[in-house]
């Protein structure tokens, strides 16, 4: 290693989803405004980046992983950064804990959060035959939801219209090494002309709630006036509790309000949020919120590195 040849970058971003391009460009723009250098790592560059890191040619002080959830080839990079970076956005060991829906389900209950009525099944490869019967399924109502505990991203493996034991037996074989959750279908109440279903972001200490229609998947920004009018402060308190449990810097959760005014956590922790722009995609996130999160990421990196380095970027 030749220290004089080492290139130091403030923030490295690993990504492998083409629709992340706008979001990453926005992060780069906000970082540039704050004097923060950035470096993109995609699948094509991954082998050379790993080689350069090990040779000491590159140093990345902060790291944001948007790739490992879909591509395990990035794991060696993640593990390297866990050992060498001073600022990790959503550290991997916390992500692994947070994405297990079965674990989160139990921890949420322990911490006083409302969750759907749920039956947790062992992985198919550990227990091929289940003792579940139709009478036990009645507690879930019809239809009910089947979802894998660890397979994440865009509703992968989730069945929303299950009605019987045959559906359970068939679908738990789709991800044979994963636990499965069988859950009651949550029906939200109406608030004005909207369904009381929300996607709520936690981003570096800030809580950003959005209306999210579970039928159309269309986002609408939640105004301060609406939050007060409909008494939605429970969204913030629920997210504060979820963050204490999962410990992530940036994630989202889905929360629905039932006719009995329970704030039910429907989708627990999404650690890689879909940040497509609504101006380009019907079911994208509101542009203002995406840009706000881009700013929060850059501010977080700047603050963390200033603190660690004892200087001003």
- The domains of the chain, with CATH numbers, are 3-89+292-309 (3.40.50.2300), 117-184 (3.30.1490.20), 187-270 (no CATH)
Q: Is 280 a residue whose pLDDT tops 80? A: yes
How far is residue 254's CA from residue 270's CA, in Å, rounded to a whole number? 9
Return the axis-axis angle of helices 233-246 and 101-110, rounded to nearest 10°.
120
Q: Quick check: helix, strand or coil at residue 285?
A: strand
pTM, entire model: 0.91
Look at residue 156 and tell me whether its pLDDT is greater than 80. no
Name the least confident of 34-48, 89-103, 165-179, 228-242: 165-179
Strand partners, 121: 180
The residue with tokens 């810097």 is 249
Predicted local confidence at residue 42, as pLDDT:
96
Q: Where are the alpha helices (DSSP H) in 123-196?
A: 134-137, 165-171
Structure confidence by residue, pLDDT tens digits, 124-137: 898 888 888 778 88
The pLDDT tens digits for 178-217 are: 889 899 999 999 999 999 999 999 999 999 999 999 999 9
149 close to 138: Cβ distance less than 8 angstroms: no
pLDDT of amino acid 256: 98
Q: Exposed (0-12), middle (13-18) or buried (19+): which is 37, by Cβ within 10 Å?
A: middle
Task: Calculate the dihedral angle through the C-alpha atoms of 296, 297, 300, 304, rounding to the nearest 10 degrees.
Answer: -170
Write the CA distances from 310 to 63, 82, 89, 267, integer angstroms.
19, 21, 20, 40
């Amino acid at each position: 290693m030749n220290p004089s040849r080492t290139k130091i970058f403030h923030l490295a971003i690993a990504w492998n989803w083409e629709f992340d391009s706008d979001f990453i460009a926005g992060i780069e723009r906000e970082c540039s405004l704050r004097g923060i250098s950035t470096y993109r790592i995609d699948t094509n560059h991954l082998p050379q980046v790993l080689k350069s890191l090990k040779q000491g040619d590159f140093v990345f002080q902060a790291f944001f992983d948007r790739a490992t959830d879909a591509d395990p080839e990035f794991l060696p990079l993640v593990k390297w950064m866990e050992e060498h970076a001073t600022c990790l956005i959503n550290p991997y060991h916390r992500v692994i804990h947070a994405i297990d829906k079965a674990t989160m389900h139990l921890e949420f209950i322990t911490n006083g959060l409302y969750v759907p009525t749920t039956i947790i099944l062992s992985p198919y490869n550990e227990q091929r035959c289940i003792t579940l019967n139709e009478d036990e399924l009645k507690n879930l109502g019809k239809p009910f939801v089947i979802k894998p505990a660890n397979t994440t991203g865009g509703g992968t493996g989730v069945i929303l219209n299950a009605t019987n034991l045959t559906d359970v037996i068939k679908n738990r074989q789709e991800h044979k090494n994963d636990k499965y959750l069988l859950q009651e279908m949550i029906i939200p109440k109406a608030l004005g002309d909207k369904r009381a279903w929300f996607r709520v972001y936690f981003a570096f200490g800030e809580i950003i709630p959005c209306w999210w229609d579970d039928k159309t998947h269309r986002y609408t920004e939640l105004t301060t006036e609406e939050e007060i009018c409909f008494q939605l402060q429970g969204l913030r308190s629920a997210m504060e509790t979820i963050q204490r449990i999962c410990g992530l810097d940036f994630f989202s959760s889905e929360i629905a309000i039932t006719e009995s005014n329970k704030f039910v956590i429907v989708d627990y922790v999404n650690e890689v949020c879909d940040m497509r722009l609504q101006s380009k995609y019907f079911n994208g996130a509101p542009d203002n919120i995406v840009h706000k999160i881009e700013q929060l990421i850059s501010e977080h990196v700047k603050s963390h590195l200033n603190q660690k380095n004892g200087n001003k970027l």
